[in-house]
Amino acid sequence: MPFFKLTDEQMMIQSMVREFSRKVVAATAEERDKSKEFPIENLKKMGELGLMGMMVPVEYGGEGADTISYVLALSEIAYSCASTAVVMSVHNSIVCESIVKFGTEKQKKKYLPMLADVEVIGAFALTEPHAGSDPVSQNTTAVKDGDHYIINGTKRFITSGKNGGLVIVTAKTDESAKHRGISAFIVEKGTKGMVVGHEEDKMGLRASDTTDLIFENCRVPAENMLGKEGDGFKIAMTGLDGGRIGIAAQSVGVAQACLDAAVKYAKGRDQFGQKISKFQGIRWYVAEIATEIEAARQLMYSAAALKDRKEKFTMQASMAKLFASEMVNRITGKCLQIHGGYGFTKDYPIERFYRDARVFTIYEGTSEIQKIVISNNIFKDKRKP
C-alpha cells in the first residue's frame, strides 16, 4: 500500500490486471522464455483492456489513466512475464507519452489510436553501437531533402525492433549543435530504407525482441518530425524520465513474484524435520526482502505521483529506477538461495526471474547514469560522467 490511499478506480484497475495477468499472461510465460515467441496475442488482449494506451487521453483512443494506475498495471504484468512488461513499458511510457507530449494534432490523431488498439507496437531508437550511456555522441544523421528527411545510421538494442510497427528515431540534423542538433522522427514499419538487423540472443526477457535497426537512405516525411528540429534529445530525456518509473514498476513486479515464489517454496520444503519457513535464517531473509520491495514500491509511487501532479519528477524517477532495479537484483539471488539447488533448475520460475531482472540496472539508463542524474539535480549543475 502507498502512504496515501489508492482511489477506488486505481484499486479496480490493479485487481482487474492482476486477474488477467495471473490467468492469461502467466500461462505462457515459461514456454515463451524457451521459444522466444513474441506475446502478440496477449498484447492485443491487453489493448482491449486499455493497457496499451493507458495514459493516452480518451479523445485519442486511450484510457486517460494516471501514472499511479499505470505503474500498478505494469507491475502486475511484470509479476507474470517481464518480457511482456518491457514491451508494454516502452510502448506506453516512451512512445505513446512522447507523442502525447510533443506530437502535432495530426500526429496524435494518426498514431495514438493505432498504438492504443495495438495495430502497431511502439519502439524507441536512441541507442547506437557506440552511443549507449552517451546518446549525444550518436552518429545517425537526418538530412533535409525538400519535404523529407533522409536518415542514415544504425540503432542498437531496440526493444521491439523486429515486432514494432512504429519507431521513434533520433538523428543528428545539425552536427555542430551537439545535443541541440538532435531531432526525433516517427518512422512507420515498411518505410523504405529501414531494415531490421541483428537480433540479440539475450540471457533474459527472451520473448521480447531486441534488434538493430538500420537506416539506409530512409526517406521520412518532414511532417513526421516529433517536436521541432533540435528537440530530439529533450524528447528522449523526457521520455526516459517516464520510462524509468516504468522500469521501477517492472522491478517491483518481478521482485514480488520472487518473494511469493520463495515463501511458497519455504512453506512446502522440509529439512531437519520441519518446514524451512520455520528457520530464523529464512524468516529474516523474507523480512528483509519484503521491506526492500516495499521501499522500492514507495519510491515508484512517489515518482508517479509527482508526474501526475505535473511537477518535475526527473530525480525521483531516477531514484525509483536506481533503487528498485538494484533491489530486484539483490533479492532474486536471495530468493533463489531459499530454493536451494532447485532454484538453479528450470523446474522453478525463480531461475527465469533471476535472468530477466539482470538487465533492469542497465537499460533505460544504467545505475551509474541514474546516480549522475540524481547528483546533478542535487548539486544543480551539469557535471559530466
Catalytic residues: 364
User: Min. distance of Cβ 180 from ligand CAA in angstroms?
Assistant: 6
The residue sitting closest to ligand CAA, measured at its beta carbon, is: 365
Instruction: Report angle CA 35, 91, 142 to the nearest 5 degrees.
Output: 105
User: Min. distance of Cβ 146 from ligand CAA in angstroms?
Assistant: 28
**C-alpha cell at position 81:** 512475464
CB distance 139 to 131 below 8 Å: yes
CB distance 296 to 272 below 8 Å: no
Of the ranges 15-23, 156-164, 169-177, 221-229, which one interacts with ligand CAA (CB under 6 A)? Answer: 156-164
Of 212, 218, 169, 166, the residue nearest 188 (C-alpha): 166
Q: Cα dihedral sign for 222, 226, 227, 230?
A: negative
Looking at residues 310 to 329 of the shown chain, list those that interact with ligand CAA (rule: CB under 6 A): 314
- Is 66 a binding residue for ligand CAA by CB under 6 A? The answer is no
User: Min. distance of Cβ 359 from ligand CAA in angstroms?
Assistant: 9
- Is 363 a binding residue for ligand CAA by CB under 6 A? The answer is yes
- Is 364 a binding residue for ligand CAA by CB under 6 A? The answer is yes
Among 73, 248, 373, 374, binds ligand CAA (CB under 6 A): 373
Quick one: DSSP state of residue 92? I
Q: Which is nearer to ligand CAA, 28 or 98 (CB)?
A: 98
Among 5, 192, 380, 382, binds ligand CAA (CB under 6 A): 382
Cα–Cα distance, 47 to 115 (Å, whole number): 9
CB distance 176 to 206 below 8 Å: no
Q: Which is nearer to ligand CAA, 152 or 367 (CB)?
A: 367
**C-alpha cell at position 381:** 549543475
- Is 332 a binding residue for ligand CAA by CB under 6 A? The answer is no
- Is 238 a binding residue for ligand CAA by CB under 6 A? The answer is yes
Q: Which is nearer to ligand CAA, 39 or 343 (CB)?
A: 39
Cα–Cα distance, 228 to 239 (Å, whole number): 16
Looking at residues 118 to 137 of the shown chain, list those that interact with ligand CAA (rule: CB under 6 A): 124, 126-127, 133-136
CB distance 194 to 177 below 8 Å: no
Cβ neighbour number for residue 310 with a 10 Å cutoff = 7
User: Min. distance of Cβ 138 from ligand CAA in angstroms?
Assistant: 10
- Is 233 a binding residue for ligand CAA by CB under 6 A? The answer is yes
Q: Which is nearer to ligand CAA, 42 or 98 (CB)?
A: 98
Cα–Cα distance, 306 to 240 (Å, whole number): 15
CA-to-CA separations, 53 to 73, 235, 260, 376, in angstroms, rounded: 12, 19, 29, 32
Binding footprint of ligand CAA on the chain (CB under 6 A) = 90, 124, 126-127, 133-136, 157-159, 179-180, 233-234, 237-238, 240-241, 314, 363-365, 369, 372-373, 382, 384
